[in-house]
Amino acid sequence: MTDVVTTTPPAAIRSPARTRQSPPWRLLAPILIVAAGVIAYCNSLNGPFIFDDIRAIEHNESIRALWPPQRALVAPPGNTFAARPIANLSFAISYAMFGLDVRGYHATNIALHVCAALVLYGVLRRTFRLPRLRERFGRDADAIALAITLLWEVHPMLSEAVTYISTRTEVLMGLFFLLTFYCAARAFESTRPAKWYALAVVACAIGMGCKEVMVAAPLLVFLYDALLVHDGSFLAPLRRRPAFYGMLAATWLITPALLFLLTDLTKHTGQGLGSITPWRYALTQTGVIVHYFRLALWPDQLTIDHFDWPIAQSVAQVWAYALIVLAALLLTVSGLVRRRPWALLGAWVFAILAPTSSFVPLGSEVVAERRMYLPMIALLIALVLLGRRLIGERRGLSVGVVGVLVVVLTIATLDRNTDYSSAVSIWTDTVEKRPYDMRALSELARLLAAEGRHREAREYAERVVRIDPTYPGALTALGGILIGEGRLEAANHNLRLAVLLDPRDSLAHANLGLALARQGRTDEAIEKYREALSRSPNFVDAHVYLAEALAQKGETAEAIAHLETALRLQPDAADIRAQYDRLKQKN
């Protein structure tokens, strides 16, 4: 790789302010960053596995062993980590260390988030000392970097990425995204950059195995180089570092390869959204992006689910949002054309959101707050620099304002974490904020029924049926409630309709099997349990139900085999262990 890295000698990049730093200050910033992250998320450690966590972790047999390595890298089809081998491996490591103890998983998420914050601080403090920014920001580079990092680290909008265990994919990808930038920044100022170039490429390649949004990293590294490091044309970085950018671009091949080899793409476009077109999805995303920006400034309505988000049918419905987004996009493009450093902030937001908030319909999530994990950085940089401009040289006031904001945001994050204290509480919070969210209502009904709170569960399930009588999730939940109430014919009717509307729903098949079993129709029940397992091979309850039905028919050996599978998936389940022991004794 070419050793000539900047138009300014590396020694000139290092501001005198950096050399005058006292050791206590250099130690204080990392200590503050670690302390802030730990304090903001200290009350999240006992939150249980919820929703996607169940399939992604509890029912994910591929994380049960670290050897052979290909097993830990390849998640089952349909799993959240199916095309994300590094994320799956990280959970395999967590399982090896903690089993299914949620505290270990939460602690790991917090540690990864704190590491990402430390790397962000390193990137920012170097960035503000670059020649194009040093005159304006160099003297206060460390203070500005610390303010931005602390505000980002404790912002409650990031809580979904950190506290919701299976969304570790966002934090893990964010860490490697920032590491790519850190290594590249070190290379750009080094007289011997080869190792930093190599580390940047490795970090980028690993990030591609965490989440698909990582595809934005090579482009943004190039823009960082072109806008902040070089004074020449956009071609200057390519001429000076052709090997580096060639290798960085090569990492783009990883994501499509993983999607092609490890997933069924038909299961990741439009599921739950009907026949949404790319154009309608893009129109909808204009409102979503404005919603993200509002929550970044005022995070008062954070929710884990937005299934009821309205799909735009025409430009007329979202014209105001579209104008805001279009204006921001045009401003960014104009800044890029004129090579203004601030344009990198707009490019950062749009490039990182593009894979999820542009023209490609993604699953059943039109909106997901965790997608702002990295874009939030650019917004906070803009706000902090604007605040610095307004406050001027009054450093005491600057420190006070940042301190108050960090404390307020930390309290808001601690409060948000309490919503994750149980599955019922997080879905109750969602229903309170989005009363027409059918998925949230159905999930809450299912959870309440499992706790024996059938009257409350029925109210929520029936509310969904009033909104949409053909919503499969509500029919499945209502069928489960009716089974608990002993109304087997009504349960059978609702569950058959649910299966007809969504044949892929393994829970509907399993519940229908349970209703049939309670009616004494064991053979039909077995057929439904097998149907459920054909769609979700790691569905523990289906294995247990099938074992019970097989045992009734005297097929003890197969029943034991299914209980062994259930125990392999949930080794700490005492009731399954007791059932297994009883069958073994009889056999």
pLDDT of residue 450: 86
Q: Counting Cβ atoms within 10 Å, is residue 530 exposed (0-12), middle (13-18) or buried (19+)?
A: middle
Q: How many residues does the chain have?
A: 587
d(CA 385, CA 539): 51
pLDDT of residue 265: 47
* Tens-binned pLDDT, residue by residue, of the chain (587 aa): 444 444 444 443 344 444 444 456 678 999 999 999 999 999 999 999 999 998 899 888 889 889 888 889 988 877 888 889 999 999 999 999 999 999 999 999 999 999 999 999 999 999 999 999 988 887 889 999 999 999 999 999 999 999 999 999 999 999 999 999 999 999 999 999 999 999 999 999 999 999 999 999 999 999 999 999 987 788 889 999 999 999 999 999 999 999 888 765 444 433 345 568 899 999 999 999 999 999 999 999 999 999 999 999 999 999 999 999 999 999 999 999 999 999 999 999 999 999 999 888 876 789 999 999 999 999 999 999 999 988 877 888 888 999 999 999 999 999 999 999 999 999 999 999 999 999 999 999 999 988 889 889 999 999 999 999 999 988 998 999 999 888 999 999 999 999 999 998 899 999 999 999 999 999 999 999 999 998 888 888 999 999 999 999 889 899 999 999 988 888 878 888 888 888 888 77
pLDDT of residue 397: 87
pLDDT of residue 19: 41
Listed by start position, the domains of the chain span 10-419, 436-536, 540-587
List b or e across 30-44, with b for residues whose CB sees 16 or more CB atoms inside 10 angstroms. Answer: eebbbebbeebbebb
pLDDT of residue 516: 93
Type and span of the H or E element at 267: none
Structure tokens given for 534: 């054909």
**Residue reference for tokens 């750009």:** 188
pLDDT of residue 23: 53
Answer left, alpha or beta for residue 77, where phi above 0 means left and psi between -120 and 50 means alpha. Answer: beta
pLDDT of residue 527: 94
d(CA 214, CA 221): 12
In the CATH scheme, what architecture does the domain 436-536 have? Alpha Horseshoe (1.25)
